[in-house]
Structure 1
Amino acid sequence: PNLREPKKFWGVSDLPQIMESQRELNRAMSQLSRILELSGNPIAVLENVEESEDIAIRPGAVWNIPEDAKAYLLDLLQGGGVNLHINYIDLLYRTLHDISESPRSAFGGTERDLSGVALEIELHPLLQKVQRKRIIRTAVYNRRNEMILKLLEKYQGMNFGKNHLRVIWGPVLPHDITRQVNNEQVLVQNGIHSRRRAMDELGVRDPDSEFERWLEERETILKMNRQLNARPMRNEKRERVLTARAEGVEE
């Protein structure tokens, strides 16, 4: 679903804005293809010749022409004219990528090694486009889920109570979460973020269930620590009793 149009079922398509550039790109590519095809099948040019028959263009061919005549092959690539077509095609490619908000680097066309931050800046137009799409789709998916729950309550008699629906989107680019983990750790220790909020920021799909598992694990660890601490105390008491008995026997 894209942006909706009044009195129309479907939303605004992404194709019309790039169709004109795509047609021009197709035309330029076809024109360059014809030039290359003609250059591969050269045209014989005869000057000062009134009539010609059986002029064959092949290796080892011999042409009989008058003394003042001149014969040569037409070179369509002479003077670097083909570079003008190639530069124009590159310009159309750049226009197409700019209009569609999809940089060349999104297709693996990086000509140099880029760091994570530099690559994110390079792909910033695409990230903005994805963010806009996700905002629209989030509202649609939440509305769809609400309708599903209402249908289940009406026809199946199920009661789901009051639920907060949320769509969790994955990251578009791979991230090094080490720095983010350190930041969330500091925020949790200073009481700025809760553990659930930190899990949510780090991309945990179900922070509530993860927090419950963390509480269970913490309770188990504390119980084990209490048991381990109780054993040395028992051993210490036993040693004291044995020492007291030994001293009584000596007396």
Structure 2
Amino acid sequence: MDGGPQPARPNPYGFIPIVVFPNVRRPKSFWGESDALVLKEVQLELNRAFTQFSRIMEVSGNPIAVLSGVTEAEDIAVQPGAVWTLPEDAKAYLLDLLANGAAQLHLEYINALYRMFHDQAEVPRTAFGDNQRNLSGVALEVEMQPLYQRVQRKRPIRTAVYKRRNEFILRLLGQFTGRRFLHRQRVVWGQVTPRDESRRAADFALLVERGLRSRRGLMDELGVADAEAEFGRWLEEQNRLGH
């Protein structure tokens, strides 16, 4: 405290309540690797492209007068209604940095960087609601596959971390309250993208009716917070109705 050494004292918890997990494992390294590293170079190039295009637009809004065949010139004003007196055979024009489709070339390069950024991040532009091609539901799901695959890779890592964190919380709670808590837990993940719940529910009902899936398992997929308790309530209702 205050930059000075602290006296040694026993750990009141009996363990270190910190969960450390690597995002992407690196050989011979305790720490993982960030997902942002692969995006750094593209982001820097995107910043440079925007800065360059911004400067060109600024110069185009305040054009530069170019005089050819003139040895001396003073007070050359670039403004509406300005009159220039030039020697014979001299030429004068405004420097246009956006001539011959130059602006479109810059925009195409920026869009190419955007596509590269989304490809490396595995997050398609469609994930931000940009569906200019009016794709069908199946086509949209195919286009979103990179994001689905990324989520599927991340969830097992975070599932183990969340379970470990919850165990620490329950251990501390039991230690300071004197109560015993069961450490049995399940991590239920929601849908990555919005789905038609009525259609999914109808499909799940058919699977249950045919005996291909259990009710409790499908409750998990539907995002029911406590599938076990919900299944118990369903059994109670069935008993009351005499089924």
Q: TM-score range by the shorter chain?
A: 0.7 to 0.9
Q: 1:201 to 1:75 in 2, by over 3 A?
A: closer
Aligned residues: 221
Shift of 1:155: 4.2
The equivalent residue for 1:22 is 43
Whether 1:212 aligns to 2:199 is: no
Separation of aligned partners in 1, 2:67 and 2:221: 76
Q: 1:216 to 1:21 in 2, by over 3 A?
A: same
Separation of aligned partners in 1, 2:151 and 2:218: 24
Shift of 1:188: 2.3
> What code does the residue aligned with 1:57 have?
V
State the Cα deviation string for residues 108-129 of structure 1 (Å, max 9, x = none): 2221223322222121111211
Q: 1:150 to 1:61 in 2, by over 3 A?
A: same
Separation of aligned partners in 1, 2:81 and 2:204: 78
Q: 1:186 to 1:59 in 2, by over 3 A?
A: closer
Separation of aligned partners in 2, 1:93 and 1:19: 13
Q: 1:201 to 1:77 in 2, by over 3 A?
A: closer
The equivalent residue for 1:36 is 57
State the Cα deviation string for residues 163-198 of structure 1 (Å, max 9, x = none): 531111111111113343333323323333332223
> What code does the residue aligned with 1:118 have?
A
Instruction: Select 2:83's aligned residue among 58, 62, 69.
Output: 62
8 Å CA contact retained: 2:190, 2:221: no
TM-score (norm 2): 0.82
The equivalent residue for 2:7 is none
Instruction: Select 1:88's aligned residue among 109, 129, 132.
Output: 109
Q: What secondary structure is seen at the aligned counterpart in 2 of 1:62? A: coil
TM-score (norm 1): 0.80
Residues 40-51 of structure 1: matches in 2 within 5 Å?
40-51=61-72
Shift of 1:4: 4.2
Q: What secondary structure is seen at the aligned counterpart in 1 of 2:242? A: helix
Shift of 1:23: 0.6
Q: 1:183 to 1:54 in 2, by over 3 A?
A: closer
Aligned Cα RMSD in Å?
2.1
> What code does the residue aligned with 2:167 have?
E
Q: 1:81 to 1:195 in 2, by over 3 A?
A: closer
Separation of aligned partners in 1, 2:97 and 2:155: 50
The equivalent residue for 1:165 is 185
> What code does the residue aligned with 2:203 have?
N
Residues 1-251 of structure 1: matches in 2 within 5 Å?
2-5=23-26, 6-8=28-30, 10-161=31-182, 163-222=183-242
Question: Which structure has the highest helix share of the two?
Answer: 1
Separation of aligned partners in 2, 1:135 and 1:47: 69
The equivalent residue for 2:4 is none
Separation of aligned partners in 1, 2:206 and 2:66: 80
Whichever of the two has the greater Rg, that structure is 1
State the Cα deviation string for residues 122-150 of structure 1 (Å, max 9, x = none): 21111211222221110000111122223
Gapped regions of structure 1 (runs ≥ 5): 224-251
Separation of aligned partners in 1, 2:173 and 2:78: 79
